[in-house]
Amino acid sequence: MKYIIRILFIAIIILICIGYYFKNSGDHSTGDKLVGIGILASSFILMPIFIYHRWKNKKIKDYMLTEENLKKMRDYEANRENNN
């Protein structure tokens, strides 16, 4: 999965760079289309795949503010203050 993400990232960067090359060489409409496609691909293809890859096999409950987690945070802060 991480190789797919890397390949997509590099392809999107290359697409955006090619778009700016076309814009600088005078073909603004093609350059704008390529840059736009690159930005849309990074937003709607690359980012969801990256988020899925980073969050799979994680416990959502560990990141939520439940009473249990609040108690753990308070205990941690109390232990930190006692050690100083």
CA-to-CA separations, 64 to 59, 61, 67, 70, in angstroms, rounded? 10, 5, 9, 9
pLDDT in tens, the chain (84 residues): 899 999 999 999 999 999 999 999 999 999 999 999 999 999 999 999 999 999 888 888 877 888 988 899 899 988 888 876
Domain count, the chain: 1
| Structural domain containing residue 23 | 2-83
What are the two backbone dihedrals, phi and then psi, of residue 66, each rounded to the nearest 5 degrees?
-100, 170
Q: What is the model's pLDDT at position 84?
A: 66
